[in-house]
Structure 1
């Protein structure tokens, strides 16, 4: 097992080379993107273009996408959820789930607000302001699993803010920014362990990147660009991620988690004109891309023997101790309104399609179509509402 450590190659290409790549439509190496291809005030929008999506949903009043946005009813009782001052460490395997109700309320209300439900939009504003006024999550324990829970909550919070931002008064906008910004920045914490390099870190950088994009903070946005490059550099030639595939029965579970954060980073970058989906790692001269990683994950589901040599390490495997019994629980609704295949909604609508993309689309239709809308914190909320075109 190779040792995975953060790496970063100095920028070698100037803006002239970047312009040539953009003009030709060629795949962009990530060291080019690291120089930054957009000015601070151009193209930054968060996870997706809220105005464009609102317009699409308004025009497609009978579409499956709009139906997905409105599929889950808003519950007035959410306004009475007790504010959580801080997340804490947990005993044994798992993470603090005390914020699950908060996250679900935010994800449902943000989808409904995106589709034009004014009552839900008003409720979301009041809900977030209530938690902001109370300093929610500000007392989160400084340990990696508590911070992991914080990262999960911050991504849908950032997305929700992007959806309601234009309808806020300046005072309310400043209040929410003053609450969200320090919490997002706390997710950049280094713990001197593997969580600084694995899916925990990918999630952190997806949050930082989304917030940086939304607020025009180039340094935060750049963290996602840099991390995406590191992930591809660290991936094996077959697309497997060493720190995830060692996880025994949950090797593919954590590969999927990593792919979700990669998808979020790629979607955020798309709004700034940076194409991470088709970009390749360059440090070792390979042509690894996100599609390589995605293909390995899907190949592993079809033929688990491809994973066994790595998963035999059985490092913190989760509930199942036998690495020969892969956990495919991510293919099903988790019973709490969430679905781990939500990220595939973004991949399924990518144009032009490639073979891994078509396979992902088929997987989504086979395993998730009957369970839409697909909602998940790691994807930022109601992914069917955010990306579905039909």
Structure 2
């Protein structure tokens, strides 16, 4: 399939033309109405159960709004809002599956944080903004699930709050974070929120990053700014793929097949996916780049690759959530290999909940 370049997107949008709509076109990350209906069917009974698998914690009603995310010492970013994002992701999945109590709790929680101006005073520094970026896909998805039933006043308040935060993270720091997984995450947020709200310029800007990443992909599928990260080289390769999946699913709602898009050199999503899977199977393939050991994370030995993303993390997340979506739409050997990995090591850990894919990905895309 011919490459759909960002220039073509820009030209189409600037002319005000309608883009080719998919049979089940949607605005945002996925078709909320269609998925909610699907989850009610007998065939998806087990998937619906996974939407409801994590219980509501009564303590979530007592979460205090956090106005400021800040820089942290050493490796990592501010985790003070981690409980909030977990609550949002669990409640949004339950609400999608028809849990009226979860819907009410989610609406009240978001309204409380919106009214308090949560995150609006986040420190203007890259790692604090990274922590903010991690909040925004779950918030965007939660809003999409809630919006059809919201009162006009509350809908406007939530939309204005989220919109301001999304625009805040579209920020340049004049460093590697303007080009690596930090920026790709930011642009995935812009793509989803822009599509959801009808802001074509924002959506276009976010989706354009997809082509940029393909252009920067090396012949073996690695990315220069991620593969050098020592023990976490594959960690950040996987994180970039998660954000590209968000973009591809957003684009798919408009009839664009980003999974098949190629760069002039023939690089594609499958090229990046193949590099991740090759590294998992044969870590020696990663060593030539990982030896640079640039900001490697907790493990300082670049030969001891961090593969914790194949397990459920201590804070409940599973960072392979993006695979639920990618397996449905991609075709070819790399995607077949992903399905094999999923069947062997991941499916038993469902539901897969992760802020980099917007929440409970098993609920959003999972198949029986």
Counterpart of 2:329 in 1: which secondary structure? coil
Q: Which of 346, 370, 380 is the equivalent residue of 2:325?
A: 346
Q: TM-score, normalised by structure 1?
A: 0.90
* 1:143 counterpart = 2:121: no
CA-CA distance at 1:366 after TM superposition = 1.5
Instruction: Give the distance between the partners of 2:113 and 2:18, measured in 1 at CA.
Output: 33
Paired residues of 2:67 and 2:122 also in contact (CA < 8 A): yes
> Counterpart in 2 of 1:18?
none
CA-CA distance at 1:297 after TM superposition = 0.7
**C-alpha distance after superposition, 1:155-205 (max 9, x if no partner):** 100000001110001111101011110101111010000000000000000
> Counterpart in 2 of 1:323?
302
> Counterpart in 2 of 1:5?
none
Counterpart of 1:39 in 2: which secondary structure? coil
Q: Which of 236, 259, 262 is the equivalent residue of 1:280?
A: 262
Instruction: Give the distance between the partners of 1:179 and 1:92, measured in 2 at CA.
Output: 30
**C-alpha distance after superposition, 1:52-107 (max 9, x if no partner):** 10110012375222111010111222011111111000000100000100000000
> Counterpart in 2 of 1:88?
70
Paired residues of 2:12 and 2:19 also in contact (CA < 8 A): no
Aligned residues: 361
* 1:306 counterpart = 2:312: no
Paired residues of 1:28 and 1:275 also in contact (CA < 8 A): no
Paired residues of 1:34 and 1:225 also in contact (CA < 8 A): no
CA-CA distance at 1:224 after TM superposition = 2.3
CA-CA distance at 1:34 after TM superposition = 4.4
Q: Which of 181, 193, 218 is the equivalent residue of 1:236?
A: 218
Aligned-pair Cα RMSD in Å: 1.6
CA-CA distance at 1:41 after TM superposition = 12
CA-CA distance at 1:29 after TM superposition = 3.6
CA-CA distance at 1:350 after TM superposition = 2.1
> Counterpart in 2 of 1:378?
356
Aligned ranges 1:248-263 → 2 under 5 Å: 248-263=230-245
Paired residues of 2:88 and 2:142 also in contact (CA < 8 A): yes
> Counterpart in 2 of 1:367?
345
Closer/same/farther in 2, CA of residues 36 and 240 from structure 1, 3 Å limit: farther
Counterpart of 1:140 in 2: which secondary structure? coil
Counterpart of 1:67 in 2: which secondary structure? helix
* 1:68 counterpart = 2:50: yes
Closer/same/farther in 2, CA of residues 170 and 209 from structure 1, 3 Å limit: same
Paired residues of 1:344 and 1:360 also in contact (CA < 8 A): yes
Paired residues of 1:29 and 1:281 also in contact (CA < 8 A): no
* 1:202 counterpart = 2:212: no
Instruction: Give the distance between the partners of 1:28 and 1:119, measured in 2 at CA.
Output: 45
Please, which runs of 5 or more residues in structure 1 have no aligned partner? Answer: 1-25
**C-alpha distance after superposition, 1:229-273 (max 9, x if no partner):** 000000101111110001011100000000000001100110111
> Counterpart in 2 of 1:50?
32
**C-alpha distance after superposition, 1:306-326 (max 9, x if no partner):** 111111111101111111111
Please, which runs of 5 or more residues in structure 2 have no aligned partner? Answer: none
Paired residues of 1:347 and 1:361 also in contact (CA < 8 A): no
Paired residues of 2:77 and 2:127 also in contact (CA < 8 A): yes
* 1:225 counterpart = 2:207: yes
Counterpart of 1:95 in 2: which secondary structure? coil
> Counterpart in 1 of 2:195?
213
Paired residues of 2:234 and 2:306 also in contact (CA < 8 A): yes
Instruction: Give the distance between the partners of 1:62 and 1:297, measured in 2 at CA.
Output: 30
Paired residues of 2:190 and 2:206 also in contact (CA < 8 A): yes
Aligned ranges 1:9-158 → 2 under 5 Å: 26-30=1-5, 31-36=7-12, 39=18, 43-60=25-42, 63-158=45-140
